[in-house]
Each structure stands twice: as C-alpha cells, then as structure tokens.
C-alpha cells in the first residue's frame, strides 16, 4: 500500500468511525474548533429594545475581542445566539429553555426585566447552567436561596441602588420626606423593600408609597396623594413607558418636584416619550463614556465606532450601562471558563469564585465573586445621570 493509499484508508476509517458513532447515538469528542455557545434572552422589540440592543453590542464587542485573541481552552471561539423575550416572563422562559436545552449554550445572559429574570432563575439552577445578569436589578435574582447557585450578575442591585438613591436625594435636594412611586410588579416590590430599609436606617419616614401599572396612562391620582402628604422628592422605579407617564402626569398637575430614579428610564425612548421634562429625572448608571476614559474605555469606544456606523462618539452609546455591563460580564465569563478548563456548568460556576483580578470597563474587579456574593457591582460603582437633549449625560455635564 502506497503512502497516498494509506492516507486515504485512514481518512475513510475516520469517516466510518464517525458514521458509526452517530448511528449508535454516541457523542464524538468536541474538537478544539467547536465554538462555545453563549445565549442571550432580552427585549429586542418594544419600548425597551434599545437596552436589549445595547446589551447585544456589549457582548458582541467582547466576543469579537476574545475571538481575535484566540478564544479560550486552546483556541475555542465564542458564538452569540440571542432571542427576543419581549420583556415577558413567559416568553423569557421559552427562550431560556430553547437556548439551554436545544442550542446547548454554556452560559445564558439575560433578563432585561426583573420579572423575566426571576422566571428564568429556577430553570438555570435546575439545569446547572450559569445565568449572567447584565441589567435586571431585582435583589432576589442572585439572592434566590439556591445551593448551589448558578446565577451571577454584573449590574446594579436594588438594595444597593436604594441606599444610593436616598443618599443622593439627601445630598442634592435636602430630601426629608420622600414619596415613593413604584411599578406594581416584582421589581417594584424589591425596591419597596430596599427603600424602606434604607429610609429606616436613616430615620426617614416616607410621605407615602404609591404603585402604578405598566399600562397606566395617567398617574395623577397617585401623585396627588403624594403631593397632599407633603412629599418633597419622588423616588421613582419603573421602566421606560411607565416612567414617562409619571413625568407627563406631573406636567399635567403642574407639580415641579425633584425626581430621583432607578435606571429604568435609560432603557429606551424615555426622552421622546416623557417630553421636555425628561431632563428633570436623575437616574443611576454604572458607567459613562463621557469624560476621560481608561485604556479599556478607549479600546471599547474605538471598537464600537468601528463596528456600528451609528456610533460617532459617546453621545451615541445609549444606554451605556447595557454596553458596559455586558462587556465586562462576558470578559468575566471567559475568565471563568478558562479557569474551569471546560464548559461544564458546575466547573464554570466554581471558576467564577477563582477569578483573581480583571481590569474591566466599569472598574478593576478584584475577587468579584464568592459563594456568598454573586454580584460584582458595589455601591461605589454608580454614576448619576440625566437626559440632556435626548442624550444620557452625567449630572452637571452640559454640552
């Protein structure tokens, strides 16, 4: 048999072995070139679509950077697969199940909305696949009681944001009697609990606590009760559409009151929906591309401008928090997988605990996770912003 005949025989043998394995239902070993699938379920349509797109862009920039640098585990590249959950828990569950059980993603990102995330959490803990939150801030998402817990987050956390909201209001508006206007869903409940605790710790008594629905078009009755109770500041928790209705209701009342908000307004067309007084809302973020940037910030901004034709500068990275959280989270995921030495869910979970240091976009992370702490962002990592001419700018920055 010639050398060429031997080579052909070996190729045929490999093909036969592969065909036998497939026919017998056996799994062939993963090749080094096989991509590592990363799933994303988020709102890609509706009022919060802009936030979903920001998360997508942050993940995409990170994935492309990682792949350009050779990937992980000896050359395996990442592949991003996403689904639109339309900000609906039921559709989020369907998307999560498809990505985990059909697409076999190694890690799932998502849950732009707290109710969606809370619906997905039990699935991920049962499937033993890491679930990474780059946006939803509900405290129970990571503090879900599971042991082991497969849910991690690089984002704001309600109980920490609530303390920051009170501190910011007292410092900037001399707040003494805040009124709470909260969306009537699990996210609002999470923040009611957090705000009550934050106020009790500072011996502050609220003027009142009012709830509103996501489809309310008039919040005047709730706001009137808060005004009559003597509220000197409003603490607002709601996503884009509902928060815009609060601002428009205040306009109809003629009530000029400071508004300190969670980051819900950042998720979409808030300035367009709320009108001119959108600028009166001060809300929290984890990052801003304005001002002097770190080398990582400069690198990411350059990559965004090269990848997306609509991004000409920091004005166009909206909301920046979605990009920043997703970028850092993906980089931390890559470290966890590399440390784990595999894409096994439990190995990745333990890999998160072994991350020592990573110089990220939002900050330099030092041992960001432990078995007791699954949130990488702390109370020292927030930036306060407002809408100026439709752009999210740090408070006090005038262009």
How do residues 189-209 score in pLDDT, each as one tens digit?
A: 999 999 999 999 999 999 999
B/e letters for 349-359, b = 16+ CB within 10 Å, e = fewer, are bebbbebeebe
Neighbours of 173 (CB within 10 A): 16
pLDDT on residue 267: 66
Residues 65-80, mean pLDDT to the nearest whole number:
97
3-state helix/strand/coil string of 14-32 = HHHHHHHHHHCCCCCCCCC
23 or 299, which is more confident? 299
Left (φ > 0), alpha (ψ -120 to 50) or beta: where does 70 sit?
A: left
Read off the pLDDT band of 327 (50, 70, 90): very high
> DSSP alpha helices (H): ranges in the chain?
3-23, 49-68, 89-97, 114-127, 139-142, 158-173, 186-201, 220-228, 240-253, 270-274, 295-307, 320-340, 345-353
In sequence order, which residues have a C-beta less than 8 Å from that of residue 7 and are 6 or more positions away?
none
**Contact indicator for 99, 105 with CB cutoff of 8 Å:** yes
Read off the pLDDT band of 379 (50, 70, 90): confident
348 or 275, which is more confident? 348
Stated pTM of the model: 0.81
How do residues 4-17 score in pLDDT, each as one tens digit?
A: 444 444 444 444 44
Identify the structural domains of the chain with CATH numbers, from first to last.
36-156+292-379 (3.40.50.2300), 163-285 (3.40.50.2300)
Taking alpha carbons only, the member of 260, 58, 256, 84 closest to residue 164 is 260
Read off the pLDDT band of 268 (50, 70, 90): low
How do residues 215-231 score in pLDDT, each as one tens digit?
A: 898 999 999 999 999 99
pLDDT on residue 214: 87
Does the pLDDT at position 27 exceed 80? no
pLDDT on residue 351: 98
How do residues 29-61 score in pLDDT, each as one tens digit?
A: 444 579 999 999 999 998 788 889 999 999 999
Q: Which of the residue ranges 103-107, 162-166, 211-215, 272-276 would you say has the lowest mean pLDDT? A: 272-276
């Amino acid at each position: 048999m010639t050398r060429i005949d031997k080579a052909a025989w070996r190729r045929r043998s490999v093909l036969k072995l592969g065909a036998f394995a497939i026919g017998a239902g056996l799994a062939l070993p993963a090749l080094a070139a096989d991509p590592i699938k990363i799933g994303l379920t988020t709102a890609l349509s509706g009022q919060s679509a802009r936030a979903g797109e920001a998360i997508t862009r942050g993940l995409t920039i990170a994935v492309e950077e990682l792949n350009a640098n050779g990937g992980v585990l000896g050359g395996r590249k990442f592949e991003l697969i996403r689904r639109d959950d339309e900000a609906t828990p039921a559709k989020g569950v369907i998307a999560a199940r498809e990505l985990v059980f059909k697409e076999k993603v190694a890690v799932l990102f998502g849950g732009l909305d707290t109710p969606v995330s809370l619906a997905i959490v039990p699935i991920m803990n049962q499937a033993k696949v890491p679930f990474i939150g780059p946006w939803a801030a509900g405290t129970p998402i990571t503090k879900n009681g599971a042991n082991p817990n497969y849910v991690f987050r690089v984002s704001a956390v309600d109980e920490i944001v609530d303390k920051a909201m009170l501190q910011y209001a007292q410092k900037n508006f001399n707040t003494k009697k805040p009124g709470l206007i909260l969306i009537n869903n699990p996210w609002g409940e999470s923040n009611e609990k957090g705000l009550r605790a934050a106020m009790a710790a500072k011996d502050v008594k609220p003027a009142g606590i009012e709830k509103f629905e996501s489809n309310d078009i008039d919040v005047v009755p709730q706001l009137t009760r808060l005004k009559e109770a003597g509220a000197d500041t409003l603490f607002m928790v709601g996503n884009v559409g509902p928060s815009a209705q609060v601002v428009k209701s205040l306009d109809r009342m003629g009530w000029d009151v400071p508004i300190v908000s969670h980051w819900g307004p950042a998720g979409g067309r808030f300035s367009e929906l709320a009108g001119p007084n959108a600028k009166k809302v001060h809300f929290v973020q984890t990052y801003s591309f304005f001002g002097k940037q770190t080398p990582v910030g400069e690198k990411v901004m350059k990559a965004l401008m090269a990848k997306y034709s609509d991004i000409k500068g920091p004005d166009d990275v909206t909301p920046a928090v979605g990009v920043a959280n997703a970028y850092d989270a993906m980089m931390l995921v890559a470290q966890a997988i590399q440390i784990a030495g595999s894409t096994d869910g439990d190995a990745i979970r333990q890999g998160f605990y072994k991350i020592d240091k990573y110089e990220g976009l939002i900050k330099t992370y030092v041992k960001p996770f432990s078995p007791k702490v699954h949130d990488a962002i702390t109370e020292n990592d927030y930036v306060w912003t407002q809408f100026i001419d439709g752009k999210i700018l740090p408070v006090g920055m005038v262009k």
